[in-house]
Structure 1
Amino acid sequence: MKLALIPARGGSKRLPRKNIADFLGKPIIAHTIAAAQNCGIFDHVVVSSDDDEIIDVAAKFGAEIIARPKDLGSDSARVTDVCLHAMQFFDDRSEAVTELCCLYATAPLRTGDDIAAVHGLLGVEGCGFAMAVSTYPLPPHQALRATPAGTLEPMWPDLVSKRESDLPTLLVDNGSTYSVNATAFKEHRTFYGPGLRGHVMPQSRSIDINTREDLVVATAVASSR
């Protein structure tokens, strides 16, 4: 069984109630629910939450619900544990999960095609883990670190003066979409397992909304389309 899981706890700090904040006239989470449903890939599209309001909103937009235990709604809870909890929920009902796609509600500009592209990578031989990635907006080899003395120094002194064209392309997990083979995920308990592959998304669809500023930028990008 192929499961799309949207983890959405209620206790967000930087942008309170971010998972159901208004985005283009709908709660943010509604956009991810619709994208997952429209893929035509998944047997179940499920929201896992500890919050009654989020549960009500998610159900209104057609998602199935798993009410997660309170310990999986804390600041210290790991999303991998939330995924394992959801897989066990279906395993206990004799509907074993074979593939899982974890979708963050706070990436509403990610499309159904992006989800399908990430999940499709599991069909590549030897690939048990796949995720959405993007390029860095600035050259990562020019990263600086702050010292205890208050100065800055290159993170990688040997690379800072090199031309970007002479360095390998570096990509970053964009915090939106993760697909895994269930057996491999249970073994490794990470999204960064062996054979990891990535689907590259443009910056315009890779905005992860965690602050009020992120919300303003994402709204402007969406409105300009």
Structure 2
Amino acid sequence: MNYAALIPARGGSKGLPRKNIIDLAGKPLIAYSIEAALGCAAVGGVYVTTDDAEIATVSVEHGAQHIARPATLATDNASTFVAIEHAIASLAEQGVKPAHIVLLQPTSPLRNAHHLADAIAAYEAADAPALISVCEEEHHPYKNFRVDGGGRLEPLFDAASLSKPRQELPKIYRQNGAIYIIRTETLLREKSFYVAGCIPYVMGSDASVDVDTAEDLLRCKTILDASAKEAGRE
């Protein structure tokens, strides 16, 4: 297997309870990520790593394979890396050893199969060690302040940038959580999805919605509804 898609989905969620399987336009949230991976020809296997029986059942119903994650790797303090490391080891025990890992977070439902195929193509064309999807930062950090020890504002970067038009400032990007691609051996060695030489895959703001609150979920629904209406007029 060249590419394996791993979708981490623990049962606990503080901000939006049960968010990984919450309904979004008639489907559980995690189904969108599973369908994106299944719809990408380059992906050889789609696996959901979870500690939660209901999430596992829903995931399998939508076409993914289940990797049982120990509860100790599904706490609030457990990193995504340790869950993925466990998943890679579990696959290896089954004789499945993908050359590359594609991490898809289930809270990015508007990332689709086209984005995924496009990102893999860019990753291969660049012969890069890793790829991280990003979008342009809406609030430019050069406009930010910090508070000094005396309770006074000071520029986070420099005073001149505070009054510059945004167009004169360098473009700044933030990771949007939708797509991470990395060679498996590199991930296990570096223990990080970011490595030197990593390339960006730039996505629009709508496709970059990360569901963490009820407001985020509503925004996704609005975007999906608008897209469906547009498709109906074509």
TM over 0.5: yes
Q: Of 210, 213, 219, which residue of structure 2 is paired with 1:211? A: 213
Matched, 1:177 2:168: no
User: Shift of residue 156 of structure 1?
Assistant: 1.6
* Number of aligned positions between the proteins: 225
Query: Aligned runs of 1:56-71 on 2, under 5 Å?
Result: 56-71=57-72
Give the match for residue 191 of structure 2: 189
The letter of the residue matching 2:92 is D
Q: What secondary structure does 1:58 align onto? A: helix
Give the match for residue 56 of structure 2: 55
Matched, 1:161 2:171: no
Q: TM-score, normalised on structure 2? A: 0.90
The one-character-per-residue Cα deviations of 1:172-194 (angstroms, maximum 9, x if unpaired) are 10011101111111111111112
Q: Which runs of 5+ in 1 are unaligned?
A: none
Partner Cα separation in structure 2 for residue 139 and residue 42 of structure 1: 35
Give the match for residue 31 of structure 1: 32
**Comparing 147-156 and 191-200, the one that deviates more:** 147-156
Partner Cα separation in structure 1 for residue 145 and residue 49 of structure 2: 38
Give the match for residue 199 of structure 1: 201
Give the match for residue 75 of structure 1: 76
Q: Deviating runs (4+, > 4 A) in structure 1?
A: 146-152
Q: Which runs of 5+ in 2 are unaligned?
A: 228-234
User: Shift of residue 221 of structure 1?
Assistant: 1.8
Q: TM-score, normalised on structure 1? A: 0.94
Partner Cα separation in structure 2 for residue 111 and residue 156 of structure 1: 36
CA distance change for structure 1 residues 139 and 22 in 2, over 3 Å: closer, same or farther?
same
Give the match for residue 45 of structure 2: 44
Partner Cα separation in structure 2 for residue 197 and residue 24 of structure 1: 33
The letter of the residue matching 1:5 is L
**Aligned-residue RMSD, C-alpha:** 1.7
